[in-house]
Amino acid sequence: MLTRRILDVIADVLTLLALAVAGAGHMLPWVEIRVEQPEQKSEAAADAGQEKRPGRVDHYHHMSDRYRYEPVPIEFQIWHASRSGIALAAAAVLVGLSLVFRLGVIARKFLVLLMFASTAAAVAFQLMIYSPYPFTEAHRSLETSSLHELDGYFVAMIPSIIAGVLCTLRMGWTMTASAQPAAPRYDLLDKAPDGETA
């Protein structure tokens, strides 16, 4: 019982650290938009119809010259980060409750399930930046563009995944805990302690 409690505290502390780092990642830029330059596109299309000559520079070998990066619309990141942030905040509150209060076995199982669900929801909202569905007007404006992830996105996503893994590991020993400790049993030849019968 003491060992399981120590494991709970260690898992809670590590989960809180991961959630704190993920929350900091929500304050950083997540993505940039890669938009193809129209003038470069038309020039490349015109060159594609001409016969390639020796010594001629192939424009398709310089794809990076045909694109420019623009700041992502703030509405796009806010739509994902706000929902993911709420899920992470809920997970942090649940982990705090687990640290402060000594709950029973049933209550702790329910709490761990909620912690896992919160972290899973946060990761899901973060991964939805790749979804093709136009949830908002900002999503529709990105249908013809491609996204380039920045460091802030990985600072938010990787710790969120780590927090989810920690919750999953904790479920392993929390869900297997029995609601009540088994009563001591004695063999017929053993002498039971005073006040107890064999």
Between CA 156 and CA 87 the distance in angstroms is 13
Which whole number is the average pLDDT over 106-133? 90
Among 35-49, 74-88, 153-167, which stretch is predicted with the lowest mean pLDDT? 35-49
Q: In terms of DSSP bridges, do strands 67-71 and 31-36 run parallel, antiparallel, or are they unpaired?
A: antiparallel
Residue in the block written with tokens 């302690």: 193
3-class SS at 24? helix
The mean pLDDT value of the chain amounts to: 77
Higher pLDDT, 70 or 167: 167
- Average pLDDT of the residues in 144-163: 88
Angle (deg, nearest 10), helices 74-100 and 2-25 = 160
Question: pLDDT class for 41, splitting at 50, 70, 90?
Answer: very low
Instruction: For residue 39, list its beta bridge partners.
Output: none
Distance of CA 90 to the CA centre of its chain: 13
Instruction: Please say if the pLDDT value at position 38 is more than 70.
Output: no
What are the E-state strand segments in the chain? 31-36, 67-71, 146-149
The Cα-based distances of 131 to 23, 93, 118, 126, 150 in angstroms read 22, 29, 20, 10, 17
